[in-house]
Structure 1
Amino acid sequence: MTPLSIPGFERHRVRVDDGVTLHAAVGGSGSPVVLLHGFPQTHLMWRHVAADFAADHTVICPDLRGYGASDKPAETGPQVYAKRTMARDVVRLAAELGHERFDLVGHDRGALVAFRAALDHPRAVARAAFLDVLPTLDMWDALHGVSAAVGFHLYLMAQAPGLPERMIEAVPDVFFGHFLDVWTENPGALPADVRRHYLDACAGAVPSIVADYRASAGIDVDHDSADRAAGNGLAMPVTVLQQDWGAALGYQAEKLWSAWAPDLRHRTVACGHFMAEEDPELISAEIRALGNR
């Protein structure tokens, strides 16, 4: 059975690295916007927002390296799933599709890729939006004490190759389904066929998903630390949309983000983690507001 995709969008396969091809759904026409999905999802999470933006934008929704219908190279070293590598994939994808400069929006894991792309490729990223995530360094600092239990999966997948893959592959639907269930405030936002699509896509990508998370506990920390030490930040206009996790974990999200992004608009939203599916009208409006800055 053909995996679900965004209705009316064309499917593309674009080579972005040696032996690595990304799958992307592309639709609409006009100024380009690239939408990057999070965990445990695929490009399909953008189906509502993408349909809205396709009326006046060229919309590019890839499956990240290691996810969905994109290639899943073996983790032969930490750089394979470093956000720096995944960000380069996205910039190359857009260029191959004819866009040297674009607006970039990322959710969850995709937001970390978008963050790295904005740092490494400021000439390519005109404006950036990050949904429900903290930069890697701030995320690890925010997780402490018993409140860090909410991020148990981060610590599990940070372990050396072998154990996390075997544990997750034993019960993939239980593992990935847990996050689909507890991270949404509106279960109806994830219809049965969409939920099944996500579970099937993740079950077929356990090693690469774990490698992506493992990189965030290693090489990604090194890269972000180097940027922080050098005083590097995001020069473009930035919008951040987040749930109010600060009260539970004891951090001020806007303050953390403003250290990276001087031109920042931060908003706390009243919906679950899967906000592009739970409240697509709000998310579309916020991304459109970014385009006016």
Structure 2
Amino acid sequence: MENLLRWGIANTPANPDQQPRQPVDTSKFDSGIIDAILGRPDSELMKEDMGVAMDASKDEDERVDALDHLEMLVEQIDNANNMQKLGLWTPLHSLLTVSHSTARIKLQALWAIGTALQNNPAAQDAYMTLNPASTLFTFLSPSSPDSTPKLRSKVIYTLSGLLKHNAFAVRTLDDEGGLGWITFGDALQDPDITVRRKTVFLLNTLLISKGAPVSGDGGGGAVHTSQQQLHTEPPPDRPIAFPNSHAAAVSQPERAQTAPLAIAALAKYDIIDKVVHGLAQPVPLGPDGDEDGYDMDFAESCIR
């Protein structure tokens, strides 16, 4: 390859009259055509979607479609992380409470929030600055305004994204006299079986901690791994070279320890009793409440 390159240089005729190339004038290019070919940046699309969703003069379908498109964009973790930089968390959260939001708009806003939070510690921390838990739990009551089974089901999805592997958020469930835990307990008796299933599944998730510390004293004979047999120094405790969405989880491994908090809450707020009651005397199903309330999926999750 090197010999070929040398041959090419040696056999290229020199042109002393050749003028250096002039820079291309890009001002004559139509930005609209460029956007049509390459596509606009996601950050611009996200801001545009939020602008439409917040515009009370737009019709409901247009605002819902904008939030649906935003939800699709924040499925990508980089876009979810950009929510804070673009200043989108505050207006998106406000759609849950402003007077010009309909039930459909609130539902779609909850969906977008929940998707952005999924397995994303950085997004969880950014959203937590708005103290959103009390607002979210108001949607979980069947007696709340605009309450529908779909809305209550979706708020469980949002709370799941906020609370999973996030002990700091789980601690806020004790605020206001344990409002969060009490509301979860009440949701186990929700008229809609989907809400009950999702609630007990989330409680199960909180009872399972990732990366729980393991005691070195096994009592029944330790298992000696090759790592334990190596006489090497532990890795240096240095900051992450490239900040990313999971940097908080790495620097604060205790944030994933939700199990101790959940176990204590189950006893403190009588949630275990409500789980047993949901098994022994399930709420009837059906629009008229005239169907047997027993549900296999719900029962299995309660037993688990």
TM-score (norm 1): 0.32
TM-score (norm 2): 0.32
* Structure number with higher helix proportion: 2
RCO higher in structure (CA 8 A, sep ≥6): 1
